[in-house]
Amino acid sequence: MEIWINPACSKCRGALALLDAEGAGYTVRRYLEDVPSADEIREVLGRLGLEPWDVTRTREAEAKELGVEEWPRDAEHRDRWIEALAAHPKLIQRPIITAEDGTAVVGRSEEAVRDALSRR
């Protein structure tokens, strides 16, 4: 498993604590420092079964500056969203946990983290 985190995020710290408590093996990716490429974001979106607008933090200052709330949410504009996430990783919802079975979850709740753990 890999978990994409922002160490300043309480949800990320909670997810890490739960993974540790369960003795899970995982690697940490501090995605603000080790920024995922557009291709990596596409791959994770496929694993999540979500669209880029589903994992975009639209209330962040950067999102407001870009005006993402007004962007169309359709296949034609999907790459624009992905490129924005790659250029502005702070906009990526967190934490994202990639499970060993090839899926992924946004681990914002204990239930979601446990879901990822069940996919070992």
120 token code pair: 């070992």
Q: Is 78 exposed, middle or buried (0-12, 13-18, 19+ CB in 10 A)?
A: middle
Category of 53 on φ-ψ map: left (φ > 0), alpha (ψ -120 to 50) or beta: alpha
Q: How far apart are CA 64 and CA 13, in angstroms?
A: 26
Range list of H helices, 10-92 = 10-21, 38-48, 61-66, 78-87
Just list the catalytic residues. 9
Q: What is the residue type of 78?
A: R
